[in-house]
Amino acid sequence: MSMDTKPPDTSVSAGDDSRLKREFGTVGLLFTAVGSIIGSGWLFGALDAAQMAGPAAVLSWAIGAVMFIFIGMTYSELGTMFPHSGGVARYPHYSFGSFTSFSMGWVTWIAAAAVAPVEVLAVVQYSTNWLSWLQRLDENNEAVLTPAGTGISVLLMAIFVAVNFFGVRWFARINNVLVWWKLAIILLVIAVFFAMGFTTDHFSMGGEVGGFAPYGAQGVFSAVASAGIAFSFFGFRQGVELAGETDNPKRNVPLTMIGSVVLCGVIYVLLQIAFIGAVPTGAIKAEGWQAVGAHFSSHGDVLATFGPLAAIAGILGAVWLAGLLYADAIISPGDTGLIYAGVTARISYAMGRNGNAPAGLAKVNSTGVPWVSLILAFAVGCFFFLPFPGWSQLVEFVTNSTVLSFGCGPLVLLAMRKQLPEQTRPFSLGKLGPAVSFVALWSTNLIVYWTGWDTNWKLFLAIGLGYVLMAVHHATTKQRTPALDFRYGWWVLVWFAGLALVSYLGDFPKKAEGAGNLGVLGLGLGAAATFVLSGLVVWLALRSTLPAARVREILAEQDPQDA
């Protein structure tokens, strides 16, 4: 990897984002990513991962971090080449045209639109400990919002939108303070758990408990996708989504994309180790790791559901820490929800800029905020407050859709080396680019596969709905829309169909009986199938790239609102 110090190349000058304010500095952008990563995932993830993988959940967090480092490396090269806000949705448009950019933009948007509501639900779920009227348990013992809880949730979403309306400078200042708080709390939890209740015996307990990896490799990899681990790392994307609003993309984008994952990955691994060592031994011996949450205390599974880390703190006698955790359960998810309300708006803003969504979504107010897209994010986010399944199941849907959206970045990186080899790359992966890109794409496909068919079929149904909306938009809009470029993007359908087939043939997750999948492919064969699929997608995509001249035209286009 290298940092190119040559003067910027001016042969391709992309007219972009003149109305957006470049007010994120180095710390501001990094802390936006860190603040987004440390949301509700750490509050629930340690328990969920332990129940799926036992002590080997430590490996799950490490594997997840490594996967996202590879993905982040590819976006670091792209983000410094084209520091455009909403880059995850816009980059596919540059290399493969409108059909590909809509496909990936739609997947990205539906995933991001659900994150802020997920974080709101986390806030409400923890708050139910002292405001019992916010939620109730349904017949399946799932927490659902009461009418009053729905109203509070909508109000929280409205606050997220209001803060984002004031522009990124005020938002960045608020976020920097909140991130320092979040880092302090999570490090404090780790220190207290190690000091007051840690025992190494939990990592090697045999017998019915099953030792270090009681549920084998499948449990380890399933936890990456389904225990909130992958979900917890998604915040690294802020480095590219807000690249058009930072003062020094060359320095700040790579630092944010890679540094945030490394920093938070180390913290999460330490938290999982502390959690495994501090869980009451009796809770483990009762029914094994898979049911450890139900035996934290005499309060039963209700306390574990609404605050597992606080429950352990109370058992250890650190009641003061439990109080801080319940306060942080509002601050950490709230901060992440605040961030994603803005990110979701910038994704639909990018689609409006690409021309494959209504142009009104790209309208920006005087403070540099895409306000129409922000209102749309609020309206759709409130839809998720309907009585859907609980936090964990919604997180699984967010995980597979978000990870899938990241998969196009490695392909664009490889395509751009073919299309614009002369383009200056302030941050370059050099000769490692092809290998890193393949591993990054394979990682995205693996995580989708590990999520399991029970969740994946909903994702592919949502993708189908997106294509219906695209067809309606092209048939009814009066605005000038770009050519569909299907001849350059048809391979996306092969990718999606291949993933759906592999998932349907797979046996993930084993926990979901009657999920409808065939269970023919296990862990090893599934990994091999996604490896072959990744190679096929790379080959097809690189044979279908837009001509270099057309890429230059797209990059040189100027939004009429910028003129």
pLDDT along the chain (563 residues), means of 10: 41 43 62 78 86 94 94 88 75 91 86 82 78 74 78 88 70 72 91 93 79 90 89 79 63 82 93 93 84 60 59 87 85 77 78 73 77 86 68 74 90 95 88 95 95 89 90 78 86 96 86 66 93 97 94 72 39
pLDDT at 468: 92
Domain of residue 340: give its range: 24-381+390-557
- The distance from CA 279 to its chain's CA centroid, rounded to whole angstroms, is 28
4 found inside a domain: no
What six digits make up the tokens of 220? 């380890």
What six digits make up the tokens of 170? 């005020």
pLDDT at 43: 82
| Residue 375, helix vs strand vs coil | helix
1 found inside a domain: no
What six digits make up the tokens of 88? 């995850």
What six digits make up the tokens of 388? 């859907």
533 found inside a domain: yes
The residues that bridge with 503 in the sheet, in sequence order, are: none
Q: What values do phi and psi take at 135, rounded to 5?
A: -140, 160
Radius of gyration for the chain, computed over Cα atoms and rounded to the nearest angstrom: 23
For residue 540, give the CATH number of its domain: 1.20.1740.10
* pTM attached to this predicted model: 0.81
How many domains does the structure of the chain reveal?
1
**Contact yes or no for 108/117 (Cβ under 8 A):** no
373 found inside a domain: yes
pLDDT at 247: 63
Q: What values do phi and psi take at 428, rounded to 5?
A: -130, 140
What is the C-alpha separation between 556 and 276, in angstroms, rounded? 54
197 found inside a domain: yes
Output DSSP code: residue 336.
H
**Contact yes or no for 209/288 (Cβ under 8 A):** yes
What is the C-alpha separation between 324 and 14, in angstroms, rounded? 47
What six digits make up the tokens of 13? 């000058």
Cα 494–496–500 angle (5° rounding)? 115
**Contact yes or no for 219/56 (Cβ under 8 A):** yes
Query: End-to-end alpha-carbon separation of the chain, Å?
Result: 37
Longest CA–CA separation in the chain, Å: 71
What is the C-alpha separation between 435 and 222, in angstroms, rounded? 25
19 found inside a domain: no
**Contact yes or no for 233/261 (Cβ under 8 A):** yes
Nearest residue to 93 (alpha-carbon basis) of 345, 349, 350, 348: 350
**Contact yes or no for 161/380 (Cβ under 8 A):** no
5 found inside a domain: no
Distances, alpha carbon 2 to alpha carbons 5, 77, 248, 447, in Å? 9, 10, 17, 29
543 found inside a domain: yes
